[in-house]
Amino acid sequence: MSKHASLERRRQAIYGWLLLGPAGVLLTTFAFYPSIATLWSSLFSRGTRRKPAEFVGGENYTDLFADPTFWLVVKNNLIYAAATIPISIIIALAMALWANSKIPAKGFVRTAYFTPTVLPMIAAANLWLFFYTPGLGVLDQIGSLFGLPSVNWLGQPETALWAVIIVTIWKEAGFFMIFYLAALQTIPADLKEAADIEGASRWTYTRRIVLPLLMPTTLFIMVNAMINSVKLIDHLFILTKGGPSDASKLILYYIWEMAFAFFDAPHAAAMTILVLLVLGIIAAIQFLLIDKRTHYQ
């Protein structure tokens, strides 16, 4: 190899590292270092002024697995994810297909669908309090017209979690619709013309052409929805505070409560590591299995 070629390769390597540098600094500062620090913290006991923290290994994780509240929170989060992820995606897809079709006032329809997304989480939760308030809320007012009794939607273990789920679906469906709408506008019009020439119905065209072409977008939305399903905390502060009887308490709220209400940072750190581990496994499955099938590789 000539000296000139060696210098060129070195220059390209330096140029590549310079491009990666800013992202590396940000990831190290806000992702890698906090994750390592959290893992290290989860291996120590809770320290006090009189009794310093001691290395306990996996004892904090063992305590979590023996905690009934932890498993209740996990169950709540599984129900929350199983309901919000598919329903939000289906509603978002339906809204995008309609908003992308030839309908009057198309711009108004798109704006109406997207409006819940731009509302702050706290504002959205306070808005839904107007619906859920017993006796005075919109839902009870409508129910009273049909002779139905007043329901404390946020104050009953049977309904509290589902009330939070409805708020999340209402908030996220419009956000996911934007991605579907952008993807729909990239589908060539020639495909629709070819389908019409072949006599394919609208349902056949949607099922055989549109939905397969939207699979990469669906996968992207699904991953984002999974991440969102473990990071909800704003709504819970306003709507239920995890109650009643921990019926609506989710993982991130429990982590916050453990760290800042009970001042038990080691157990909160252990729970955080478990969440990161689960999300990492999901990401690995996505990249190793689902992604190749989605892109037909």
Mean pLDDT over each residue of the chain, to the nearest integer: 87
The pLDDT tens digits for 49-65 are 777 888 888 999 999 99
Check: CB of residue 249 under 8 Å from CB of residue 138.
no
Q: Which residues pair with 55 in a beta bridge?
A: 44
The pLDDT tens digits for 68-108 are 999 999 999 999 999 999 999 999 999 998 888 877 877 78
The model's pTM: 0.87
- 216 Cβ contact list (under 8 Å, min separation 6): 183, 294, 295
The residue to which tokens 């540098």 are assigned: 21
Q: What is the pLDDT of residue 232?
A: 81
d(CA 78, CA 122): 23
Average pLDDT over residues 106-131: 84
The pLDDT tens digits for 228-274 are 888 888 888 889 998 888 999 999 999 999 999 888 999 999 999 99
Q: What is the pLDDT of residue 294?
A: 60
d(CA 19, CA 66): 47
**Residue 139 scores a pLDDT above 70:** yes
Pure H helices in 42-159? 59-65, 68-99, 106-118, 121-132, 138-145
Average pLDDT over residues 210-239: 87
d(CA 213, CA 97): 13
Banded model confidence at residue 295, pLDDT cuts 50, 70, 90: low
Protein fold of 60-294: MetI-like fold (1.10.3720)
> Helices then strands (H, E): number in the chain?
16, 0
For the chain, which residues make up each domain, given as ranges? 60-294
